[in-house]
Structure 1
């Protein structure tokens, strides 16, 4: 096996690892608790843009449940990163602006992970590459 082919495979596995671990962490820590406890979350969710608790929670669930599932599968990865990045930036810069770097470190790390995926794309070990040539760069 020549070195460039090995490098390509390592890069694809690295992107797969980044997609799956980042997606699972966001889904497990933030998305599923919101989805499984909607009524309780409606009472405590911050609404910085005064859209209403229902709309704000549905937008958060979209970004923290559906988008990570798309990213894990490798479908529309770059597009799915955008709502996640929006929610993370709003949380870190608006809702929790008083947090120190230590307090917000998980959010900042997720921001780094999903910005990296936005830049790099899903890699070749993604469903969109296998099944839909039109979505190759999504």
Structure 2
């Protein structure tokens, strides 16, 4: 138990960094451009399942705008990671299956970040988290 208390601030700092850096990158590189240029995105978004541009763009906006905001704050982090993971898997496996690892490295790295957060949770450094006596990995 002594080792966990010594390591827990470092783990919490790492999870905070992972939450902020991954979410801000996703939001800035993919989410905000889709939101700010919504009509233009409708004309050229990929539609891998034939659902139409609206039904392809809305899940992307949820995953790339709304979910990163929840993750940044540390609220519902594990749940918020699931749409991101789903959209990234569709993008990497259905929309761009011909990409090499080098071409798709940003998507794969985002997939690693958000899968890690889905497994670990947000850590203790988030608003509204009360300090507890012990440390439970992945709590939250």
The answer to whether the superposition gives a TM-score over 0.5 is: yes
Stretch of structure 1 that moved more, 43-52 or 119-128: 119-128
Normalized per residue, the structure richer in helix is: 1
> Which residue is 2:5 aligned to?
5
Q: Secondary structure at the match of 1:127?
A: coil
- 8 A Cα contact 2:26 2:64, kept in partner: yes
> Which residue is 1:109 aligned to?
109
| 1:55 and 2:55 aligned | yes
Change (3 A) 1:116 1:42: same
CA RMSD of aligned residues (A): 1.6
Q: TM-score, normalised by structure 2?
A: 0.89
- For these two proteins, the number of residue pairs brought into alignment is 132
Unaligned runs of 5+ in 1: 131-135
CA distance in 1 between partners of 2:92 and 2:75 (Å)? 27
Stretch of structure 1 that moved more, 74-83 or 4-13: 4-13
- Map 1:118-129 to 2 at 5 A: 118-127=118-127, 129=129
| Aligned structure 1 segments of 4 or more residues deviating by more than 4 angstroms | none
